[in-house]
Each structure stands twice: as C-alpha cells, then as structure tokens.
Structure 1
C-alpha cells in the first residue's frame, strides 16, 4: 500500500506540471483525463468517475455521485476548472469522503492563474501532516 502523504504529494506535483503545461481555462474533463494518465505513468492505481452510493437506514441509492479520480484507493481527487472555488466545492469533496469512508481528498481547480490558489486538502477522520492553512474542515 502506498503512503497516503506521498500519494497526495505526487498528485499535487503532477497537477502543478499539468497546469503549467496547459494553462488555465480548459474543460475539467481535459485536466481529469490527463492527470489520471500521468498518475498511472507514475505507478499509481487510478479509478476515474468512481460511482458513489448513498446508504442510510436500509436505503441504498446506487451511483448517486461520481468521484472524478481515486488514487491508490485512498486519495480522492475532485477536478474543477472554474474562476474561483466556493465553499460548496469543499462540502462536495467532504460528502464523497464520508460516503466512501476515505481519509483524504484533494480539490484541485485548474481555472485560476496559479494552481496554488485553487488547491484544497479536505480530510475525513484523518490527522494529516499538511499545514492547517490548506485544510478546509479543521
């Protein structure tokens, strides 16, 4: 099993290189497809458009949502290409993390001038090593 922090760092590195190479403003699907391929090239296991079920009190709603990318079965990546992230985007990732019982998500917005302004780490019952300024839900 891959180290979760090393996986997250590799995802961020690949995303930075992708943003520098293509620049901002393309469709999300372009960034998602290329990022997934680059992560596979780096030796990661990648699932795109992973279905997410909702289960509650005996009710099951299959494929209610889809996660853009899940890397090594442990880091969820939600790709955006918009002018500015909103709080609802962080809630979207946290919802996916809770439903999948995953510890760490990366919300990556390729729409801004720099990737740094569009990068958020979202955690779900996980004590990350990341600086608190990058966390959405402390």
Structure 2
C-alpha cells in the first residue's frame, strides 16, 4: 500500500472519529479512537513509537515519540489546539527527517470541520 493510499484511509478514519466525538476532548481520547478505526481497516499501527536521535556516535533513546506510525510509512501527529503553530510543523518535519519517512499528517481535532484541521507534509 502506498503512502497516498494510507493517507486517504487515515483521513477517512479521522473524519469518522471527529464526526462521532466532535471537538473538545483530550488528544489521548482521539488517539485511542483513531487507532481503533485504523486497526479495523486492517492497517498495522504503532502507537507512541519511540524515535531516537542519533548524533555522530551516540544514540539518544529518549528522543521523541510519534503519536501513530502506520505501516512503518506514514507519521500521524495529533493535536487538540486552537490553531497550528510553526512548532507543530517543525515537530512533524523533525519526525519525518529522523525516521526517514516520506509522508506525515498533522491532525487537529479541536476544529468544527476536520478538513480544516489537517496538514499534509511530504519529504
């Protein structure tokens, strides 16, 4: 399955979760529900995937955690914020770079219409 195919499934599942729950919950609630939907679509997911930072000869295991990694290809970073900031974009771009992934989705569930809370990042 390509990154684009995975992306379409993720967005559909995220819309389903948002349609049922609406805005206003904690990020962890959306994460659990989205993982449930993704698993039901038959996708392999890793929740809170550790992403170490490697610098020269040292490996920092306490680096970062990807909210959801799908099929070891697509990074999903979830938010429940008023609006995205440059820090949110930098965060997902860092995950893509460190993990050598090609596609990432930044999804903000704290919006009235979910399509307005999705940003796609390509490396």
Tell me if TM exceeds 0.5: yes
Aligned to 1:38, the other structure's residue is in SS state helix
> TM-score of the superposition, structure 1-length normalised?
0.87
Q: Distance in 2 between matches of 1:20 and 1:37?
A: 15
Report if aligned partners of 1:49, 1:69 keep a CA contact under 8 Å in 2. Answer: yes
Q: Deviations over 1:49-79 (max 9, x none)?
A: 0001000111210131100000111000001
Aligned pairs, how many? 123
Runs of 4+ in 1 over 2 A off after TM superposition: none
Q: Could you say which residue in structure 2 is the equivalent of 1:19? A: 18
Q: Distance in 2 between matches of 1:72 and 1:57?
A: 28
Q: Could you say which residue in structure 2 is the equivalent of 1:38? A: 37
Deviation (angstroms), 1:102: 0.5
Q: Deviations over 1:78-136 (max 9, x none)?
A: 01011111121011000011111110000000001111111000111xxxxxxxxxxxx
**1:1-138 pair list within 5 angstroms:** 2-124=1-123
5+ long unaligned stretches in structure 1 = 125-138
Deviates more, 1:103-112 or 1:58-67: 58-67
> TM-score of the superposition, structure 2-length normalised?
0.97
Q: Distance in 1 between matches of 2:3 and 2:96?
A: 14
5+ long unaligned stretches in structure 2 = none
Q: Distance in 1 between matches of 2:2 and 2:56?
A: 34
